[in-house]
Structure 1
Amino acid sequence: MKSFFQILLLFFCIHIYAQEHPNLILTKKGVENIRKELGNIPLFDETLQKTKKEVDAEIATGIHVPIPKDMAGGYTHDRHKKNWSILQKAGVLYQILRDDSYASYVHNVLKAYAKMYPTLPLHPQTRSYARGKLFWQCLNDANWLVYVSQAYDCIYEFLTQEERDYLEKNLFIPYANFLSVDTPQFFNRIHNHSTWGNVAVGMIGLVMDNDELIKRALYGLKSDNIDPHLKDNDGGFIKSEGQKAGFLANLDTPFSPDGYYTEGPYYQRYAMYPFMIFGEALQNAKPELKIFEYKNGVLIKAVYALLNLTDADGEFFPLNDGQKGMSYYSKELVSAVDIAYHFGGNDSSLLSIASKQNIVQLDDSGLAVAKGLQQNKATPFLKKSIEFRDGSNGTEGGVGVLRSINQHFDAVMKYTAQGLSHGHYDKLSLSYYNKGNEVLQDYGLARFVNIEQKNGGGYLEENTSWAKQSISHNTIIQDETSHFNGEFEKGSAHHSEKYLFDISNPKLQIISAKEENAYPNTKLHRTLVMLEDKEDFDTPILIDMMKFASDSTHQYDMPFYYFGQIINTNFKYSSPQQLKKLGTKNGYQHLWLEGKSIIRDKRTSQITWLSNKTFYTLSTLTNANDELLLTRIGASDPNFNLRRDPAFIIRKPKTKKDIFINIIEAHGSYNPITEIAHKAFSTIKDIKAVSLAKENYIGWKIITKKGNTHRFILCTSDSKKDTSHTITLNGKSVQWIGPYVYNKVK
């Protein structure tokens, strides 16, 4: 039987083991392995030297901890933002290089913060629903603590107990309490903001071995810590006991089983750093939680989802609020790819992404990636056609991506849930890419992130009046009114429904989805077909069919936002001498009407434009009295906050039900050096609707200039693969199995 002193010693040893530092992104064993490999792993060594050069240069300038006053992009904002990055890197350098000067620098900066923090009121800028202290919003305060926790972890054993007590009493514990108990409207939500807050509190809790903070981070606040009258940023009451909140809830609810994040790729990218870095920290400090197995490994799946939601250049599709140009070269994805590789099974295809990034984390995961690259283990990361379900259980619509066989063309269709506060009103929207170039664009967000002159780097009014409105997307609009009337609560109550996603034939790939709640008593059904037939088309063509039906007569618009110069149209249009706005609200007030044509009889109308040295033609089946509108963004925009991009709008003025049938075709090229145009004309001669007696079937045929006919028939009521169908067409019986049939007649 063990004596009291033996038990006490055992407890002491266990506690010391639990408190071993570093234990977040670095471990003692990991640091030993890194130090043994210094000079042997090129990419890791290069990253280390770049980091050392950056940190050394910053240390030479002294300590800068100004009193906060500025919005994003201002001096104090950027200074504190830079501090969190340099502190984290300096802490890592101390562990790897064993140079006390880095630890001393981190300690001195933290002491300056600890001296200032107890005196700080809320930030003087009052625009945020949750004002921070160092920054104008709590979100950035949380960013700071996520990074600085890592720095503190790295120098923890360098400090005396007295020094640690001072920092924790005056800085870290008050800071964690401020982000959580003092600001529950920020902390206790399901949102990327709250994820950062949860992780900030959890990371510093792990460093200090503070179980209360760790539990608070994982599970959220209890109801007795929350003012019951406090509302969150979207007007809804914040989470209380009986409702899920905290880090685990932010894994459960926004992520689908496929790893898709309901806010969209841009904010998924932003949130992946706290998700993955806390995952790494929990795996190192509390491996018994098995965090990377949580929800069937959703954290690792999320990294793959993000990588697959990029174009050929690695840029994320700008679904919902998303800044164009953000890509997997961002620091968040460097971290995510490294951690996913190290903790997710050493998938060699991730190494090819890491090779393009050409930088790694300075930790165990980064070392593993750098080693894998040195050993030539990388294999290509092949992005193929793929569908991601939305919703916690994967039952709230989704996003489908069709990719051509050569991976040059990407067609993206969005049929998701609302996407929380960052969602746009664009059910069944389309965007299209060729080798990373936008052919048909999603506008993205209206914001200049961290550019002080543009509303302090925050969202512009035009994000609501334009970017979120349905007319700013390539989707159908009824009566110049956005889906769900642009109302968040209505939009959040519904999601579109997948009808069909079939990529079994790489030469004929299909996405089809329905939306029956965007407008009262109106049913929408969109189908995209990517058809590859090299006899008729040099590149894949994208067939776009939108069926709509309502109980009453309405006006319907179908916009297509393109880039480049109009080359030709096969219809005549008039241009006004003085520009007028297309409408007065719901985004229409931001469009200039530059040209208009009224179609006199049923025909195939075509518009051709040149963009990035490639010709594109949009062919559309138009009826008598349909209108073709040439528009441009920029009206009602005195501060030039919007891009001046053009659009082609097909309008059906008065109808109860009809079909938009459009074909987007890339063809030929133009060489500005030789000044030679190659295949500048479309190969499509005509589009015709197929007359079908049965209500639940639609059909169309494409006639090429070579005289070939491509016919497609779709059942719109039964998507089962094994259902038999029989219809009469031109007096002949047509039979097939499955939801559609395609054939080509020469």
Structure 2
Amino acid sequence: MQSALFTHNELELLESQVGNSSLMGITISNHIDQVDAYMRLPLEVPGHGEAGGYEHNRHKQNYKYMYMAGNLFSVTKEKKYASFVIELLSLYADKYLTFGFHVQKNTNPTGRLFHQILNEHCWLLFSSLAYSCVSNEMTDDQRGHVESQLFEPMLDMFTVKYGHDFDRIHNHGIWAVAAVGICGLVLGKREYLEKAVYGQDNNGTGGFLAQLSKLYSPAGYYIEGPYYHRYAIYPTCVFAEILHRHMPEIAIYEYKDGVIGRTVKALLATAYPNGKFPALNDASRSMGVTDAGVQVAVSVLSKHYGCDENIVGMAEIQGEVWLHSCGLALSDEHQKAKDNNAIVTPYWPSIELNEGAEGDKGAQGFMRLKGFDGDITQLNMNYGQHGMGHGHFDTLGITFFNRDQEVLNEYGFARWVNVEPKFGGRYLDENKSYARQTIAHNAVTIDQQTQNDFSVEKADSVHGIPHFFIDDAEDCIGISAYANDHYDNVGMQRSAFLLKDERFEAPLLVDLFRLKADANHTYDYSHQYTGQIVRTNFSYDTYSELEPLGSDNGYQHLWKLASGKAEDCALVSWLQGNAYYSWIGTSSNSNGEVIFTSVGAADPSFNLRDQSSFILRSQGETTLFASVLETHGYFNEEFEQSTNARGQVTGVKVIGHDDIGSVVEITTNNNVFTLMVSNQLDCTKETTHQVKFAGVEYNWTGFYSLDMSASEGDK
């Protein structure tokens, strides 16, 4: 058959880009260099090996370069690329059925090439596309050999032997249905394409459409988080393009109100200003928008949903496009902008992305505010679903970013990807014992217990509750949500604000975390940071003999480095990169203690990465934590320069809080600000609030009110 992803006219247009300076021309040139280099190596189809080891990676390289070579043959017509694909596929056909199933077991079913069937799905998807590009160059015997000894046994394995797993709603499931559907199309076996779209029983309960319906919310957020989103988006977009061409009756790009376009935009909207994705749930801290799957997604978005300056700016950052007509459309838009000097750095606005198939399972909030110097401050807050088996127990957790760095850190997963000596590059035991635990996040841990008792089943049955998301003000934007089902008999509410004022060098993070209970609890309000402590406003004891902070739920991995009593409010200031950060916080209870920790206890194999944190511990019933994080100053070690090493904020005070609202006072060197926040779940913009604390009455309308008019002399 003709290539599954190209028409003759499209190939002619792509061929005209060879040697061009456009993004498509650069893409083709880069692919030629990479494939030509790989083709100089001897052909090799290795047997079984360690997960993440040589054999594993050689199989991955083989399918990657077969796919690229097939595309290059289609575009350039150079026979060497077709010969490479044909010879390598024939070698696989010679050996595939002789391998048996992989000797290394994982939690997922094994394949004949890889330790888990997911990787075999990937292999089939890319190899099928490569085969579609070169099959017309093969003899009948060659095609028969490859199809009967390689592709057909794979299809049978995926849909019969592992048929019970074929319709699993998961990133593995998306790869499975896309691989089977594409291979079925390429082999002319329409029944496999139908299974891939509508499910094993062909009734819509499984298959690609079910994956789109259940994994992506109406806003486009992917349930497992950005890391797995960028992985699942590759087969999602490639298979969508296949269906657009070969099953147009589905109208795939309009399905579920255009969820494919929405989910690409949602993925891009989660990224930090530096292009890295926040490590929500099980995730690497290194993944970003230059990932190959995101490149494909941006090209699809441009072609089928329209192109704007942000998308063009994203293509500029990525430096390549998908080698496809979708990529060519984006390349053309990029060239127009380049010719007109109109390429801008992408700036995604604040966005609240609902969760759940119907959008009713909480949300993820991504707030951004541009400072006076153009630097973008970003706050992320989780008040959605758990994230299935890859979820972390961190509802109401936050991360904070500015000055081109993550300041309040997300640890991500405990895994050394493809580092075979580290448990084969798979998830480590410490992923459960530390990384997924609540104390590993910027949240509040109650009684040293993890949310939902670390039960995935229990966590999947509950979700956060959005309260407000206000992003239309120039000087103050805010977000608030509840999580009332994550600890027994304790309700939680977190409200966070980015406050921009000319008196501060960068937007302030103002954070209120309220816990409602009828019994005494120990609350640990934790902050994961990177850098060097510069100063505190309280004395503390350090320990020459280190002990773990606790015995389980992640505490067993925390060395207790130092601790001290906090009087009124505690100040912790540290240096990270070229910026100073000063956190000042308090609790409505007076018995606060600050504990400094470092990850590394109970870690005999040195599996955990370095991570520092400080915890404000408070005890009581209903409690309100209030804090401000200020970015200030500049440090340059090379030139021995340091300016404004002390911030402007000098104090935070909880005036009072109840079921109606919370009132907090923020003191600076010259001013006193009063922040009033609604604690009423059914609040609207028109709701009036009246509270009285210490004989003073406070009134406001709407979700919150910020009074910045008082000076120090008015106190």
TM range, smaller chain: over 0.9
How far 1:733 sits from its partner (Å)?
5.3
Describe the SS at the equivalent of 1:45: helix
Match of 2:636 in 1: 671
Describe the SS at the equivalent of 2:183: helix
Match of 1:182 in 2: 161
Select the residue among 680, 687, 697 that pairs with 1:723.
687
Q: 1:510 aligned to 2:474?
A: no
Q: Aligned partners of 1:312 and 1:58: how far apart in 2?
A: 34
Match of 2:58 in 1: 79
TM-score by length of 1: 0.91
Farther-moved stretch of structure 1 (42-51 vs 699-708)? 42-51
- The question of whether the paired residues in 1 share the 8 Å contact of 2:19 and 2:29 is answered with no
Q: 1:628 aligned to 2:609?
A: no
Q: 1:276 aligned to 2:237?
A: yes
AA matched with 1:638: P
Q: Aligned partners of 1:729 and 1:521: how far apart in 2?
A: 26
Match of 2:564 in 1: 597
Farther-moved stretch of structure 1 (613-622 vs 183-192)? 183-192
AA matched with 1:722: E
Q: 1:64 aligned to 2:31?
A: no
- The question of whether the paired residues in 2 share the 8 Å contact of 1:180 and 1:187 is answered with yes
Q: 1:550 aligned to 2:523?
A: no
How far 1:734 sits from its partner (Å)?
4.3
Match of 1:452 in 2: 420
Select the residue among 237, 259, 277 that pairs with 1:298.
259
Select the residue among 160, 163, 168 that pairs with 2:147.
168
Q: Aligned partners of 2:28 and 2:597: how far apart in 1?
A: 51
Match of 2:650 in 1: 685
Describe the SS at the equivalent of 2:539: coil
1:310-389 alignment, distance < 5 Å: 310-376=271-337, 379-380=343-344, 381-389=346-354
Describe the SS at the equivalent of 1:299: helix
Q: 1:23 aligned to 2:4?
A: yes
AA matched with 2:78: D
Q: Is the alpha carbon distance of 1:343 and 1:707 closer, same or farther for their aligned partners in structure 2, counting shifts above 3 Å?
A: closer
Q: Is the alpha carbon distance of 1:85 and 1:64 closer, same or farther for their aligned partners in structure 2, counting shifts above 3 Å?
A: same
Match of 1:610 in 2: 575
- The question of whether the paired residues in 2 share the 8 Å contact of 1:698 and 1:716 is answered with no
1:632-647 alignment, distance < 5 Å: 632-647=598-613
Give CA deviations for 1:181-240 in whole Å, capped at 9, x if unaligned. 211344220100111111110111121232210111112223xxxxxxxxxxxxxxxxxx
AA matched with 1:676: Q
AA matched with 1:524: M
- The question of whether the paired residues in 1 share the 8 Å contact of 2:310 and 2:348 is answered with no
Describe the SS at the equivalent of 1:552: coil
TM-score by length of 2: 0.95
Q: 1:659 aligned to 2:639?
A: no
Describe the SS at the equivalent of 1:706: coil
Give CA deviations for 1:631-669 in whole Å, capped at 9, x if unaligned. 11110011111122110001113x111111111111111
Describe the SS at the equivalent of 2:684: coil
Q: Aligned partners of 1:364 and 1:314: how far apart in 2?
A: 25
Select the residue among 558, 562, 574 that pairs with 2:541.
574
Question: RMSD over aligned Cα, in angstroms?
Answer: 1.8
- The question of whether the paired residues in 1 share the 8 Å contact of 2:19 and 2:25 is answered with yes
Describe the SS at the equivalent of 2:439: helix
AA matched with 2:624: I
Farther-moved stretch of structure 1 (683-692 vs 410-419)? 683-692
- The question of whether the paired residues in 1 share the 8 Å contact of 2:414 and 2:607 is answered with yes
Q: Aligned partners of 1:344 and 1:129: how far apart in 2?
A: 36
AA matched with 1:316: F
- The question of whether the paired residues in 1 share the 8 Å contact of 2:233 and 2:293 is answered with yes
- The question of whether the paired residues in 2 share the 8 Å contact of 1:544 and 1:663 is answered with yes
Give CA deviations for 1:700-734 in whole Å, capped at 9, x if unaligned. 11111113333334343432112223344676654
- The question of whether the paired residues in 1 share the 8 Å contact of 2:659 and 2:679 is answered with no
AA matched with 1:65: V
Describe the SS at the equivalent of 1:413: strand
Work out the number of aligned pairs and report it: 702
Q: Aligned partners of 1:96 and 1:699: how far apart in 2?
A: 65
AA matched with 2:594: L
Match of 1:137 in 2: 116
Residue identity over aligned pairs, in percent, reads: 34
Match of 1:159 in 2: 138
Give CA deviations for 1:345-391 in whole Å, capped at 9, x if unaligned. 23343121111111122221222222222222665332221111111
Q: Aligned partners of 2:179 and 2:706: how far apart in 1?
A: 54
Match of 1:648 in 2: 614
AA matched with 2:166: F
Q: Is the alpha carbon distance of 1:556 and 1:734 closer, same or farther for their aligned partners in structure 2, counting shifts above 3 Å?
A: closer
- The question of whether the paired residues in 1 share the 8 Å contact of 2:17 and 2:24 is answered with no
Match of 2:360 in 1: 395
Give CA deviations for 1:240-283 in whole Å, capped at 9, x if unaligned. x9882221111100101111001000000011100011111111
Unaligned runs of 5+ in 1: 1-19, 223-240
Unaligned runs of 5+ in 2: none
Give CA deviations for 1:506-529 in whole Å, capped at 9, x if unaligned. 311111000111111110000001
Q: Aligned partners of 2:686 and 2:660: how far apart in 1?
A: 17
Q: Aligned partners of 1:730 and 1:630: how far apart in 2?
A: 34
Select the residue among 682, 699, 704 that pairs with 2:663.
699
- The question of whether the paired residues in 1 share the 8 Å contact of 2:124 and 2:183 is answered with yes
Q: Is the alpha carbon distance of 1:691 and 1:487 closer, same or farther for their aligned partners in structure 2, counting shifts above 3 Å?
A: closer
Q: Is the alpha carbon distance of 1:590 and 1:274 closer, same or farther for their aligned partners in structure 2, counting shifts above 3 Å?
A: same
